[in-house]
Every structure is written in structure tokens, then in C-alpha cells.
């Protein structure tokens, strides 16, 4: 079974480098994997209360705003309710229980991909909860990863494939103290595929 590759989306915000893990545009096998794995009874139509194929605003309110002088900014600290704020071409969702960062991508104004980060020491509990909700993973892998200080950790990667949805669980992400789960749809993979093809055509026309 081909593995769905994940990459990182990074954005410099106010001097801080924000990196979001999510599907990598180079993972061409994703759409084929979706087509090949039908009949998954627990395939979700939503995740964290956010429904795929609908605007994020249908499930979550926009975060309140505040000002520093004439500068307007989103101020999630002003509420404890779940709320979202736009960041570049995706949205950050704040105050989601059990997760410290949640990112949502829309395609044509509709939710198509959700990535949620959790503390690495919650990885076993998160893995058990996902299996309880979605069944045994269709693909699983364990590998050793090492830090720059040569400290070894065991990374667990689980994947589920449905007719429309791919779930990817990683016990360790870009840092050893965090893991993540990404739930993405065929619409998102097609968006990435179309975007990459358009970039290829643009490059060809520049020669």
C-alpha cells in the first residue's frame, strides 16, 4: 500500500516561524488511494465537529478582534469558545480540547482538510481514541527517528483510506514533543494536484 506523504507549510508571523503539517503536493498516490479503498464503514464526514464540504464558519465562529493603535488583529485570548482566524491561505482554530494547534484548509469555500496537533505524551491515548472511532488503521508503520543530539524515539504512523477521506496519524511530528492527525478529502488532494499541474505549465511557458 502506498503511503500518503506529509509535508510542512511554514509562514513567518511577527518574527515567529509557523509550520503546519499537512498533505504534500508531491504525494501523487493520494487520489488513487482514495479510489481504491471503498467500503470503510467508519469513514467520517466531519472531524472535531467540523463538517467537510461546508464552510468553516458554519461550525465555528470567527475569533474576536482587538487593536494596538490602529493595527487590528485577531484576539483569541478574549474568549474561551472555539473560534477561528485566517492565516495566509488557511485557518487556525483555537481552544479545541486535547489539541494545541488546529489548522483548516478550504477548497472553493468549503472545508477540505483538517490538521490537529497534540502533545507527544498523549500519542498513545490519541491513537487508541482514533482506532475506537474509525477502526483499525489500513496501514501502520513504526520507525526510529533521532534528534540532532542523536536521541532515539519510536515514531508510529497510521493511515486510514476511504472513498473520500484519508486520515493520517503521526505520533511524532516536526518536533519530538508533538504529534498530529490530518484528515483530508479527495477535494483537497485534487486541489493540490491541480495546483502542481498549473505550476508545471507556468514553468514550461517561461522557457
State the pairing for strand pair 110-119/178-185: antiparallel
Name the residue among 196, 184, 192, 176 with its Cα closest to residue 43.
Answer: 184
Per residue in 74-105, pLDDT tens? 999 999 999 999 999 999 999 999 999 999 99
Residue 101, all three cell numbers: 494547534
Residue 11, all three cell numbers: 509562514
Q: Report the run of H or E that residue 189 belongs to, with start and end.
A: helix 186-205
pLDDT at 148: 86
- Residue spans of the domains in the chain: they are 6-205
**In angstroms, rounded to a whole number, what is the distance separating the alpha carbons of residues 207 and 16?**
36
The three state secondary structure string of 17-74 is EEEEEEECCCCCHHHHHHHHCCCCCCCCCEECCEECCCCHHHCCEECCEEEECCEEEE
Residue recorded with cell 473560534: 83
Q: How far is CA 91 from the centre of its chain?
A: 11
Out of 23-27, 110-114, 193-197, 198-202, least confident range: 23-27
Whether 70 has a pLDDT exceeding 50, the answer reads yes
Residue 84, all three cell numbers: 477561528
Work out the percent of the chain whose per-residue pLDDT is above 90. Answer: 71
**What letter does residue 80 receive in the DSSP assignment?**
S
Whether 21 has a pLDDT exceeding 60, the answer reads no
Say which residues have a Cβ less than 8 Å from residue 84's Cβ, sequence separation at least 6.
56, 57, 60, 61, 62, 63, 91, 92, 93, 94, 104
pLDDT at 18: 39
Name the residue among 66, 64, 69 with its Cα closest to residue 84.
Answer: 64
Amino acid at each position: 500500500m502506498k503511503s500518503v506523504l506529509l509535508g510542512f507549510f511554514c509562514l513567518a508571523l511577527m518574527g515567529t516561524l509557523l509550520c503546519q503539517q499537512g498533505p504534500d503536493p508531491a504525494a501523487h498516490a493520494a487520489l488513487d488511494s482514495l479510489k481504491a479503498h471503498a467500503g470503510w464503514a467508519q469513514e467520517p464526514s466531519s472531524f472535531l465537529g467540523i463538517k467537510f464540504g461546508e464552510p468553516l464558519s458554519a461550525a465555528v465562529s470567527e475569533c474576536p478582534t482587538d487593536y494596538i493603535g490602529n493595527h487590528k488583529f485577531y484576539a483569541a485570548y478574549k474568549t474561551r469558545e472555539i473560534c477561528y482566524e485566517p492565516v495566509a491561505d488557511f485557518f487556525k482554530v483555537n481552544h479545541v480540547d486535547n489539541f494545541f494547534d488546529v489548522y483548516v484548509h478550504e477548497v472553493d469555500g468549503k472545508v477540505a482538510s483538517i490538521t490537529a496537533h497534540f502533545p507527544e505524551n498523549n500519542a498513545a491515548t490519541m491513537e487508541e481514541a482514533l482506532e475506537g472511532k474509525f477502526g483499525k488503521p489500513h496501514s501502520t508503520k513504526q520507525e526510529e527517528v533521532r534528534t540532532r543530539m542523536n536521541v532515539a524515539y519510536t515514531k508510529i504512523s497510521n493511515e486510514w483510506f476511504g472513498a473520500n477521506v484519508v486520515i493520517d496519524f503521526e505520533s511524532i511530528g516536526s518536533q519530538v514533543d508533538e504529534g498530529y492527525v490530518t484528515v483530508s478529502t479527495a477535494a483537497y488532494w485534487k486541489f493540490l494536484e491541480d495546483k502542481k499541474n498549473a505550476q508545471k505549465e507556468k514553468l514550461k511557458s517561461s522557457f
